[in-house]
Amino acid sequence: MAAACRAGGGGTAVNPARLWHFHGGLKLDARTARAAAAPIGAVPLPPRLVLPLSQHVGQPAEPAVSPGERVLKGQPIARPNGYVGAKVHASSSGTVVEIAPHPVPHPSGLSAPCIVIETDGLDEPWTGYEPITDFTALTGPELRARVRAAGVVGLGGAAFPTAVKLGAGSGLKRLILNGAECEPYICCDELLLRERAAEVLTGAQVLLQALDIARCVVAIEDDKPAAQAALEAAIRAAGDARIEVVAVPAIYPEGGERQLIKVLTGEEVPARGVPPDIGYLCQNVGTAAAVARAVTRGEPLISRIVTVTGDGVAAPRNLEVRLGTPVAALVEACGGYTGQAAHLLMGGAMMGFPLADDSLPVIKATNCIVAASREEVRPRAPVMPCIRCGECAEVCPAQLLPQQLYWHARSDDLEPLDDYHLFDCIECGCCDLACPSQIPLTQYFRYAKTELWARQRDRARSDIARERFEARRERLDAEQQARKKRLEEKARAADEARGDEQARKAMIDAALERVQARRGSDRDDSPGSGA
Ligand code: SF4
Ligand code: SF4
């Protein structure tokens, strides 16, 4: 059971004196000491910013500028394309030089459309946003609109559009702010809490107001006492009894929202469900700070804190980075590479993915860059057959059967994977680490998900094509029927007309006969006719 500290009032469903456990997980050695020792630093403005149109969950944004156009810092340059979407803003002033596909940081390694800005060094701000002095005067929809206008997405790594999440509904019992990073190398949330606790607190207050929730719990791992103390001090100074800090044990992957909810409340988010289904809404502490800036200062999301670490960089630390900045500039700001740098990862050692090179830009989802030495990356031993030891199931926080998932994924028998709840897999990598046969299980699960999504997309596309085909056939059938009916009616009308004509002719003939007959009889009756 974890030690817990509190600030604010009691009487809540979350009882910090009683925490629960989620299934599985691993106790990993923290590797944050060096990066967490330095304050948040800055990165010089790069000459070019590469801003992908898709930095969030949902449809890519649509460009709102053209090549050659001058843009200002904070100006919207791409608008959301659909409900689940987010705006993109210029992170500095300059000229749009290109809108074209560029390599982006993504596990697929593919290119995607980006807006490229050549910066002018002036950092001239856009003036289209208005700060407000009292956010409590705004309604939930007004607050949501400000969050949407600022392009805020989940900064814990998921990058789900925050305004969409805030539309989760009413009657929620608790807001949970997630400050449990739990990846061994990542400490950007810890530094944020230590240095900008007041911002996180304001974000919590804005979110409570926007969602009309009475209470908020901020979960911070129990090995980060300075972060807890900083936030508690801010809460005390504000005298806000609605918000409490709870220290949770540092067990990986506690930062997953399902796992955190289980630890705090003992409740399980149902399979295929989301936290609001059981009355909770989770936001990362970094997202809360971005919400505070968006609502109170009108600031769009144009930068974020990134942990830059690993034995491959000279001076690991956290940096405030403009979106679109190349990773190379971050490494440079940390004293450059050491001779040990062998791998470059984005997103941490457990859930991160390798980067092809350091020219790739920082995006909204970039919480960590690891320049790892060979020793830091677990050498992959030869893969051995599965011995059905069950270790993978023991550690799986989603309570899945990774060995069963693996059997089906390996033999490309993907359809049954849905029955084994493949999509509940959070790709945490615990099963990989536990597997004595060194099977890269998570890779199989990523592949299977991608393949199933592709099949679902293909199925949806062919369903649409079939529906279109059937609609066309129905339309053609209907047109043919209508044509046939018209022809029949025309023929009937012609028959009727012909019948009328014959009747008229018969009448005329009969009349003529009558006339002739009358004339004949008149002639017979005339004097001298001899009749
Ligand atoms: S841990 Fe590895 S060897 Fe053991 S059951 Fe799971 S997949 Fe098989
Ligand atoms: S990667 Fe997926 S299957 Fe493996 S332990 Fe994590 S949640 Fe379970």
Q: Which domains does the chain have, with CATH numbers?
A: 18-346 (3.40.50.11540), 384-521 (1.10.1060)
CA of 434 to the centre of ligand 2 (A): 11
Please give the backbone phi and psi of residue 245, each rounded to the nearest 5 degrees, phi first: -105, 130
**What pLDDT, in 10s, does the model give residues 322-365?**
999 999 999 999 999 999 999 999 998 899 999 999 999 999 99
Angstrom distance (rounded) from CA 155 to CA 160: 8
Q: Which atom of ligand 1 is nearest to the CA of 434?
A: 1
Which pair of structure tokens corresponds to residue 475?
A: 């339309």
For residue 516, what pLDDT is reported?
A: 87
Before 397, cis peptide (omega within 30)? no
For the CA of 438, the nearest ligand:
1
CA of 425 to the centre of ligand 2 (A): 5
- Name the helix (H) or strand (E) containing 200: helix 197-211
Q: Which atom of ligand 2 is nearest to the CA of 402?
A: 3
For the residues 97-106, what does the mean pLDDT come to?
Answer: 96
Q: Is the dihedral of CA 27, 29, 34, 35 positive or negative?
A: negative
Please work out whether the CB of residue 406 comes within 6 Å of at least one atom of ligand 1.
yes
Q: Is the dihedral of CA 83, 71, 322, 337 positive or negative?
A: positive
For the residues 263-273, what does the mean pLDDT come to?
Answer: 92
Which pair of structure tokens corresponds to residue 294?
A: 């968006």
Q: Which atom of ligand 2 is nearest to the CA of 442?
A: 1
CA-closest residue to ligand 2 atom 8: 396
For residue 525, what pLDDT is reported?
A: 60
Amino acid identity, residue 256?
A: G
Please work out whether the CB of residue 426 comes within 6 Å of at least one atom of ligand 2.
yes
CA of 406 to the centre of ligand 1 (A): 9
Angstrom distance (rounded) from CA 105 to CA 459: 28
CA-closest residue to ligand 2 atom 7: 425
CA of 83 to the centre of ligand 1 (A): 41
Residue 529, pLDDT > 70, answer no
Q: Is the dihedral of CA 48, 110, 152, 227 positive or negative?
A: negative
Angstrom distance (rounded) from CA 288 to CA 282: 10
CA-closest residue to ligand 2 atom 5: 396
Please work out whether the CB of residue 391 comes within 6 Å of at least one atom of ligand 2.
no
Whole-number Cα distances in Å, 157 to 10, 309, 364, 486? 31, 17, 8, 64
For residue 252, what pLDDT is reported?
A: 95
Please work out whether the CB of residue 394 comes within 6 Å of at least one atom of ligand 1.
no
DSSP letter for 275, please.
G
Look up tokens 């949770």; give the residue. Answer: 248
Angstrom distance (rounded) from CA 471 to CA 309: 58
Which pair of structure tokens corresponds to residue 446?
A: 């990523």
Angstrom distance (rounded) from CA 531 to CA 527: 9
Residue 216's CB is within 10 A of a number of other CB atoms, namely 28
CA of 402 to the centre of ligand 1 (A): 8
Q: Is the dihedral of CA 353, 351, 443, 436 positive or negative?
A: positive
**What pLDDT, in 10s, does the model give residues 215-266?**
999 999 999 999 999 999 999 999 999 999 999 999 999 999 999 999 999 9
For residue 524, what pLDDT is reported?
A: 64
The mean predicted confidence, pLDDT, of the chain is 91
CA-closest residue to ligand 2 atom 2: 425
Look up tokens 């069963």; give the residue. Answer: 404
The per-residue DSSP string of 16-57 comes to: TT-----SS-B------HHHHHSPPEE-PPPSEEEEES--SS
For the CA of 431, the nearest ligand:
2
For residue 32, what pLDDT is reported?
A: 95
Residue 173, pLDDT > 90, answer yes
Q: Is 493 exposed, middle or buried (0-12, 13-18, 19+ CB in 10 A)?
A: exposed
Which pair of structure tokens corresponds to residue 135?
A: 């956010």
**What pLDDT, in 10s, does the model give residues 479-491?**
999 999 999 999 9
Tell which phi-psi region holds residue 297, choosing left (phi > 0), alpha (psi between -120 and 50) or beta. alpha
For the residues 73-77, what does the mean pLDDT come to?
Answer: 98
Backbone Cα Rg of the chain: 36
